Amino acid sequence: MTALGKEIRMKRLLNSNTEKLLGVAVDQAVARGVFDQLMPIERKVKEIVEGGPESITMHKGLVDSCFKEHADKTSLILKCSTFSPWQPNFDTWVTDADEAIQLGADAISMGCIVGGDDQPEQLRNLGLISGQAYKYGLPMIAHIYPRGNQIPKEEQDDWKNVAYAVRTGAELGVDIVKTKYTGDPESFSKVVDSSPAKVVVAGGNIGDQPRDYFQMARDVIDAGGTGITFGRFVWNTDDPTSIVKTLKYVIHDNATVNEADEYYQELKNGRL
């Protein structure tokens, strides 16, 4: 029956028409520090939800104050691990699937950095929690990146390293693997092809031009990816509602980057 539970929750997670995912993550204060734009977090989450994402990823302590009132509008991915500003390449457990079930989560996620000295421990954690997810019928998501200390910085974007990360997640029981974009749809389609799991991308920090992120979302869909789970690009702006609506237009309505740009300007200027 756990396969049935997972199937049902997966339907809540993905857009029912396109089966794509537009997720937003607000789990980063613990990992990266307290950005001005993450305060007050209740208001920020409300603005994000108004845009209509399929899911929102957060830590357990925010569920009561930030997710509960939106539970009928979007789905909850409970983040079960975190890195920190002082140890950016090691994700440690902070909760598990039991608590996710208690909190009404639709899915769980765990971070995992491959290519470093502590890869064995992080893979062990991912394998263990994906087993818990399977037991409870929870979709399992991994935020998995090839940025361990054994991989030179200039090789961390290589599609083969990204594909290694994604494939590793899939082989350890992850349903949706979130990783970094490789910079062009050709190489990213090889990443997608390397994994039996669904592949989505994080936004990262590629600048402050919305168009670049609309392009990334467009490319990921064109390359066969399942969508995005963006963090900073969405919440680190004054108007996350318009950003989310525009990303929806790209991911679910197949808008081109030019169409998305125009739509975003119209939304921001209050003309839509």
Ligand X SMILES: O=C(CO)COP(=O)(O)O
Catalytic residues: 145, 178
Burial label for 1, CB within 10 Å (0-12, 13-18, 19+), is: exposed
Which one of 42-50, 92-100, 159-167, 196-204 is the stretch in contact with ligand X (CB under 6 A)? 196-204
Other residues' Cβ atoms within 10 Å of the Cβ of residue 222: 12
From candidates 115, 139, 203, 225, binder to ligand X by CB under 6 A: 203
183 is an interface residue for ligand X by CB under 6 A: no
Tokens 């957060």 locate to: 58
Nearest alpha carbon to residue 67 among 83, 84, 51, 44: 44
From candidates 230, 249, 263, 264, binder to ligand X by CB under 6 A: 230
CB closer to ligand X, 2 vs 84: 84
CB closer to ligand X, 5 vs 183: 183
Q: Cα(156)–Cα(99) distance, rounded to whole angstroms? A: 34
- Window 31 to 90, contacts with ligand X (CB under 6 A): 57
Dihedral pair phi/psi, residue 230, rounded to 5°: -95, 145
Does residue 18 contact residue 252 with C-beta atoms inside 8 Å?
Answer: yes
Does residue 112 contact residue 14 with C-beta atoms inside 8 Å?
Answer: no
- What is the contact mask toward ligand X in residues 132 to 171, using x (rule: CB under 6 A)? -----------x----------------------------
Dihedral pair phi/psi, residue 119, rounded to 5°: -55, -45
From candidates 20, 27, 83, 199, binder to ligand X by CB under 6 A: 27
Six-digit token pair at 216? 């990334």
Dihedral pair phi/psi, residue 58, rounded to 5°: -150, 170
CB closer to ligand X, 2 vs 209: 209
264 is an interface residue for ligand X by CB under 6 A: no
CB closer to ligand X, 93 vs 272: 93
Tokens 């869909």 locate to: 221
From candidates 5, 183, 204, 224, binder to ligand X by CB under 6 A: 204
The CB-of-251 to ligand X minimum distance in angstroms stands at 15
CB closer to ligand X, 2 vs 248: 248
Q: Which residues bind ligand X (CB under 6 A)?
A: 25, 27-28, 57, 143, 178, 202-204, 229-233
